[in-house]
């Protein structure tokens, strides 16, 4: 596939290299030629120097034949404008916009863009790791608003019904693995030592689940 990466900072260079390693054709655009020094030595792809809002630069990058574009500069306004132009002028639908400053995230959302807020997501992940090691994340949706957590059922939780953990909480069971076989549990499912339970939840929801599990352990 043909991808365009706009912005060759640390994030853009890493993204471009990862795409290249998977066999895709990658064009990296940046207005500063020195930024291309961020690309790993093994990167084989095209680089285009110039102001991305210049139509000629987008043409040289191959916007007409691109399968996807990532706008990952350090400027939120630039990322939004580039993404908007790619979608409205060139009818490109596979677009991801980087949110650099969380205060400007609403700008990306106002244009209904697929947005990745690395600062917000990173802060939430660190917050979770500082809270507890019980129930680690195995999947993150959006920018971490909803995640899937995995718990191994401990002896203190043996015989606990799933509804005792999840009722009235912002979460939902995804799967329960027992003796190597996974199934979708019901609220009446009894937990057994050694079970592995996957729960989809917001941060507030998983914190409430952890609090309930702690109460069971201390009872």
Provide the CATH number for the domain around residue 56.
Answer: 3.40.50.720
pLDDT tens digits for 26-72? 999 999 999 999 999 999 999 999 999 888 999 999 999 999 999 99
Q: Are residues 21 and 88 in the same domain?
A: yes
Average pLDDT, the chain: 89
Domain assignment of residue 90, given as a range: 2-118
pLDDT tens digits for 118-171? 888 778 767 766 765 567 788 888 777 898 988 888 888 888 899 888 888 899
Contact indicator for 52, 31 with CB cutoff of 8 Å: yes
CA distance 56 to 41: 27
- Please state the domain count of the chain: 2
Q: Are residues 148 and 91 in the same domain?
A: no
Inform me whether the pLDDT recorded for 8 exceeds 80.
Answer: yes
Q: For the beta carbon of residue 100, count every other beta carbon within 10 angstroms.
A: 22
What's the pLDDT score for residue 121?
78
CA distance 16 to 178: 41
What's the pLDDT score for residue 142?
78
Domain boundary among 93, 118, 143: 118
Q: Identify the CATH number of the domain in which residue 137 sits.
A: 3.30.70.1450
Inform me whether the pLDDT recorded for 78 exceeds 80.
Answer: yes
Q: Are residues 71 and 153 in the same domain?
A: no
Q: Are residues 108 and 11 in the same domain?
A: yes
What's the pLDDT score for residue 133?
56
Q: Are residues 184 and 164 in the same domain?
A: yes
Using the CB atoms, write b or e for 149-183: b if 16+ within 10 Å.
bbbebeeebeebebeebbeebbbebbebebeeeee
Q: Are residues 96 and 159 in the same domain?
A: no
What's the pLDDT score for residue 218?
78
Q: Are residues 112 and 209 in the same domain?
A: no
CA distance 73 to 43: 19
Domain boundary among 118, 146, 175: 118
More confident call, 5 vs 180: 5
14 CB-contact burial (10 Å; exposed 0-12 / middle 13-18 / buried 19+): middle
Q: Are residues 34 and 78 in the same domain?
A: yes
């Amino acid at each position: 596939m043909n991808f365009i990466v706009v912005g060759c900072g640390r994030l853009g260079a890493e993204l471009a290299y990862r795409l290249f390693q998977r066999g895709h054709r990658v064009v990296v655009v940046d207005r500063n030629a020195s930024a291309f020094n961020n690309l790993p030595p093994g990167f084989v792809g095209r680089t285009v120097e110039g102001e991305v809002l210049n139509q000629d630069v987008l043409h040289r990058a191959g916007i007409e034949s691109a399968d996807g574009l990532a706008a990952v500069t350090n400027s939120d306004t630039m990322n939004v404008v580039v993404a908007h132009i790619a979608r409205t002028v060139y009818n490109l639908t596979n677009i991801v916009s980087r949110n650099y400053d969380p205060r400007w995230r609403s700008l990306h959302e106002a244009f209904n863009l697929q947005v990745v807020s690395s600062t917000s997501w990173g802060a939430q992940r660190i917050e979770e790791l500082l809270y507890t090691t019980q129930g680690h994340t195995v999947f993150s949706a959006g920018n971490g608003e909803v995640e899937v957590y995995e718990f191994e059922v401990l002896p203190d939780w043996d015989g606990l019904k799933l509804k005792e953990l999840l009722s009235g909480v912002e979460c939902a069971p995804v799967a329960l693995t027992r003796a190597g076989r996974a199934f979708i549990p019901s609220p009446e499912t009894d937990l057994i030592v050694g079970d592995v339970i996957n729960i989809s939840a917001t941060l507030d929801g998983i914190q409430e689940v952890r609090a309930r599990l702690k109460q069971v352990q201390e009872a």
